[in-house]
Amino acid sequence: MPDPQPTHVRAPHGPLPEGGTVRPITRWGTPVMHRPQAAVTTYDDALASLAADMVATMYAADGVGLAACQVGEDLAMFVFDCPDEEGVRTVGVVCNPVLTLPEGKDRRLDDDDEGCLSFPGSFESCARPSWARVDGQGLDGEPVSFEGDGMLARCLQHETDHTLGTVFGDRLSAKARKRLGKKHDAAAADYPPGWPA
């Protein structure tokens, strides 16, 4: 998801890993993008290195979140640096995310534009609950939990979807998905193969 750049940062489980290498972003249509990802079971230096690469790639692409499948890795993990409704950024890494959404009278939909770094240059309105929480594990296997509203809620839902093999286009009507595809095709020259590496 693309990034608007607010200032205050909240890191309840520590800062994002640094020193990674920017990788090409995997596109929609690649098999790894459309199947549930393997659970993270080993918390080691290789996982930390992958997370650092994901962070570097997310920032190089001006995104607010990136799942492991978006760099071609079949692992249920994502990184994010995303603002909430008040503009406060939250940063984190989540392995094996489990999403909690409001139900009943607490459930309100936010029908805002959404985009995906794996289908770059195109945005379309996608209704999602206006609040979300994700629970999972951090890079050392410790429990982590993140919650929020606004774009942060959308990001937590979008990235958890990736770990389940769902892209946000799957949540659109056929007509909206066709519009999204036309915008993507029109912007294709700005996102050549290998982007953003």
Q: Could you give the number of structural domains in the chain? A: 1
Question: Is 124 a known active-site residue?
Answer: no
Q: Up-side HSE of residue 62: CA atoms within 13 Å toward CB?
A: 8
In a domain, 197, yes or no: no
56-112 residue pLDDT tens: 999 999 999 999 999 999 999 999 999 999 999 999 999 999 999 999 888 889 899
Q: What's the chain's average pLDDT? A: 95
Predicted confidence at residue 104, as pLDDT, reads 86
In a domain, 62, yes or no: yes
In a domain, 195, yes or no: no
Does the N-terminal peptide bond of residue 17 adopt cis geometry, omega within 30 degrees of 0? no
Q: Could you tell me whether strands 89-100 and 9-10 are parallel, antiparallel, or unpaired per DSSP bridges?
A: parallel
Q: Which of these is catalytic: 73, 114, 124, 159?
A: 159
In a domain, 119, yes or no: yes
Predicted confidence at residue 6, as pLDDT, reads 46
Predicted confidence at residue 40, as pLDDT, reads 98
In a domain, 99, yes or no: yes
Does residue 80 contact residue 155 with C-beta atoms inside 8 Å?
Answer: yes
CATH code, domain with 111: 3.90.45.10
In a domain, 193, yes or no: no
Closest of 86, 84, 100, 102 to residue 150, by C-alpha: 84
In a domain, 47, yes or no: yes
- pTM to 2 decimal places: 0.94
Does the pLDDT of residue 1 top 80, yes or no?
no
Give the range of the structural domain holding residue 93, as residue numbers without chain letter: 9-185
Predicted confidence at residue 105, as pLDDT, reads 85
Q: How many angstroms separate the CA atoms of 140 and 145, rounded?
A: 14
**Phi-psi group of 77: left, alpha or beta (phi > 0 → left; psi -120 to 50 → alpha; rest → beta):** beta
In a domain, 60, yes or no: yes
